[in-house]
Chains A and B, each alone.
Chain A
């Protein structure tokens, strides 16, 4: 039903309907006008013939009529006129002065009445006719007054009326209607053909436009339309091509700029690493000998050592991010026990006393242990640094459509995260606390976490728990059912 309505409102249906209406109207108008003219011509010919024939018959026969005529004379006169009027099938009635009509009218249809309007005209000395309908069929009634032959034009009081059936003309008129209908209907039906052609001509560019738009939406920015013709639709196609070209150019420019900036960051961090390694080695040596220095110098040396270490970590993080950006980060999947992996991470950082771990045994997943270690370490470290104790880590498996999911949650009991900055916590160098200019981390920890989770085709969400504190949830596919052979990259 709905589809039908959509179809009926479509361009094709509207064009066809419009064409049909125009065709029907013009065909009907033409037929109606032609019909009217033809019908009037037919009737005029019949009427003129009848009136002229009757007049010439009366002119020819009335001199033989005894005058003033008696009733028998009038009867004989009408019979003679009836005989002469055989081609027209007329029936003649006459009246002398105010006498009765001879023969009397009334009764059968062929013997119908004379209309009063015609009688009135004839009384006044004017020849007249009128078409009437008697018993459902059309008749022509002609009335002629008769004047004296001396040229005075004075009426004699003799009136001749003739009634003619118009049945033959009616048959002709019906044939005309038939012809008009049988001419108009095929014309209307034929109008469907140009309507469909026109609809196709309009709809093809529209369809191509839609297809091209879909392709561009799907990412094929080099899609172009073939422009044919010079109409509005061709203009639209041309404009579409211009738009697609501009879009493609802009997107290419943006990509180039982004690639440049990433490459710059990668190059910078790479270039920084070598001098930084030398610095770290020198600073370590200085740090070891700091005990033998005077307190001010020792403090300065320790500060330099600390900051150099921080700088080295930041460069490492930058290089890690650059590897992700360059698509050079590889995933080395291994089936592991999740509880054990998490516990190892906590132990390696010395956090097992500060962090509550809720790790049911027997949950196994295929993942990259090194990267998951980084993820958990970043999240727990973040919670310990910015949230409040106790920090709690839970891991559990959930059945899902594609082989189950592994959910790892890291929750703290701190103040939580400002809802305004919640969407940005995974951004690079994002600082939740704007006032705290210096931080112990590189500012890339959560960004690296996000990239690692993404590499696993998982997601990571940050939220505030209803009871207070921030909750980070890592959602990874279990992949336990997958082939263990070969590493995913």
Chain B
């Protein structure tokens, strides 16, 4: 009889464990690295500035980099599209998929030439603006203000010359640092 009582108690204990189980509060758990990305005030910018499409216009994002990023380096980054975090924010690229090796970017003082494997006039206007603004807002010889940098888009026998990035096209969220330099 005592044996039966003991077994019943055991079963009851198991039942209680099973029924008393939702999501319980936990201790404080340490979880990996901190977030990062704040540039020290007063230091030169070591970041890539890329422009992605956003419902309603262009949106400039900043990607920290090891050193100064030139227009030649920035354009291939743009062509790779937004990363996971940027996609979560609702950003996308209005450019077709173009392999980075098929794009040639050359710079001169205040000028950037981008040679594409496709007809630049057939690109969506937002995609074109993405290319122009990304090229103008990264390092270009001559250190002109970005809206004065001239960008030439060419490909498939067609050429669009003297394109400039109009800052008014760019959506600037309140509280963010100025997209201009």
Contact = CB atoms under 8 A, between A and B. Distances in A.
Interface of A: 17, 21, 24-25, 28-29, 31-32, 35-36, 39, 43, 47, 51, 53-70, 72-77, 80, 83-85, 87, 115, 117-118, 120-121, 125-133, 138, 142, 144-150, 153, 155-156, 158, 160, 166, 169-170, 173-174, 177, 180-181
A304 to B, nearest CB: 83
A32 B17 contact: yes
B162 interface: no
Interface in B1-22: 4, 7-8, 10-11, 14-15, 17-19, 21-22
B35 A145 contact: yes
A132 B17 contact: no
13 contacts: A25-B7, A35-B18, A39-B21, A64-B60, A65-B175, A84-B89, A121-B28, A128-B28, A146-B34, A147-B36, A148-B39, A173-B21, A181-B18
A147 B41 contact: no
B108 interface: no
Interface string B129-172: 00000000000000000000000000000000000000000000
B26, B36, B40: residue with the most chain A Cβ atoms closer than 10 Å:
B36
B23 A138 contact: yes
Nearest to A42: B23
A21 B15 CA distance: 12
Contacts of B4: 17, 21
Contacts of A61: 37, 85, 89
Interface string B78-107: 000001111011100000000000000000
Interface of B: 4, 7-8, 10-11, 14-15, 17-19, 21-41, 43, 46-47, 60-64, 83-86, 88-90, 173-177
A121 B28 CA distance: 8
Given A47-B31, A68-B41, A120-B28, 11 more contacts: A21-B8, A62-B36, A67-B38, A72-B175, A83-B89, A128-B31, A130-B25, A131-B23, A142-B31, A150-B43, A180-B18
B22 to A, nearest CB: 6
B89 to A, nearest CB: 4
Contacts of A70: 175
What 10 A-B pairs have minimum CB-CB distances, sorted nearest first?
A: A76-B175, A60-B85, A58-B35, A117-B28, A63-B62, A28-B14, A73-B175, A64-B176, A56-B85, A138-B23
A335 B29 CA distance: 112
Contacts of A62: 35-38
B87 to A, nearest CB: 10
B85 A59 contact: yes
Given A64-B62, A84-B88, A147 B176 contact: no
A368 B137 CA distance: 145
Contacts of A138: 22-25
A75 B173 CA distance: 11
A127 B33 contact: yes
Contact of A63 (B25, B31, B37): B37
Contact of A149 (B19, B26, B36): B36
B32 A170 contact: no
Given A28-B14, A149-B64, A64 B177 contact: yes
Given A39-B23, A138-B22, A65 B176 contact: yes
B14 A25 contact: yes
B167 to A, nearest CB: 15
A77 B175 contact: yes
Nearest to A126: B30
A173 B22 contact: yes
A210 B86 CA distance: 85
Contacts of A130: 25-29
Nearest to A85: B88
A232 B17 CA distance: 40
Given A29-B14, A142-B31, A145-B34, A56 B84 contact: yes
B148 to A, nearest CB: 23
B21 A147 contact: no
A386 B120 CA distance: 153
Given A24-B11, A53-B88, A56-B85, A170 B28 contact: no
